[in-house]
Amino acid sequence: MRREKRVKLIQGADLNDLERIINDRLADGGELISIDLASLTCAMYTTEIIGDIPKTALDELEDAMGRHSCGECPFFEKPTDGRKKWTICEQGHRVTKDSRCCATYYQMRKEEARDISKDQREDARVRCEGRGCRGVAEGITASGVRPIQWTEQIPSVGM
């Protein structure tokens, strides 16, 4: 659904009428910009529903697979000129590393997931047993973070 914020000029018949109209609009989520009691007018921001915007194919892919940025895409190449933040990817789009991925990226990910067999997916999974994990990801805890040994530094006394 597309909403648009517009400025409306509101005029009342008398002061009580203007006050009632302003209160109704404020209750609907409007924002008062200015008021002129002498001319019984005020200006307000009002939000209007323009209409429904249908979802695109890219929106459907993002809903199914999560939103990804171009920095994750193999077609993205970091700009070589340090002054520019954008580059042209191999698909011909002008993008930054934070831009939305195109449909090509999601189609590629679908094909990769289809190519991986069920046995390979089973082998790649981490099986947690007891306090730690065994198998493929030995040394990784159940939360996915490697345990770290902390050492305390004791300040030396200058002699």
- Assess whether 47 and 81 both reside in one domain: no
Give the model confidence (pLDDT) of 68-91 as tens digits: 999 899 888 888 888 888 999 888
For the chain, the average pLDDT equals 76
Buried b (16+ CB within 10 A) or exposed e, 21-32: bbeebeeeebee
Same domain, 44 and 63: no
Same domain, 47 and 89: no
Q: Same domain for 70 and 88?
A: yes
124 within domain boundaries: no
Question: Where among 33, 51, 69 does a domain terminate?
Answer: 51
The answer to whether residue 18 is domain-embedded is yes
Domain ranges, residue 87: 57-114
Domain match, 66 and 29 both: no
Domain contains 24: yes
150 pLDDT above the threshold of 60:
no
Region 42-61: mean pLDDT is: 80
The total number of structural domains that make up the chain: 2
Residues 7 and 37 in one domain: yes
More confident residue, 104 or 159: 104
Q: Can you read off the two tokens belonging to residue 64?
A: 């199914």
Question: Which stretches does DSSP call E strand in 1-158?
Answer: 2-11, 31-36, 41-51, 87-88, 94-95, 127-129, 132-134
Within-domain flag for 102: yes
Q: Does the residue 41 lie in any domain?
A: yes
Least confidently predicted of 51-65, 74-88, 107-121: 107-121
**Least reliable range by pLDDT among 4-8, 58-62, 154-158:** 154-158
76 and 41 within one domain: no
Is the model more confident about 72 or about 49? 72
- Residue 136 covered by a domain: no
Instruction: Indicate the pLDDT class of residue 152, thresholds 50, 70 and 90.
Output: low
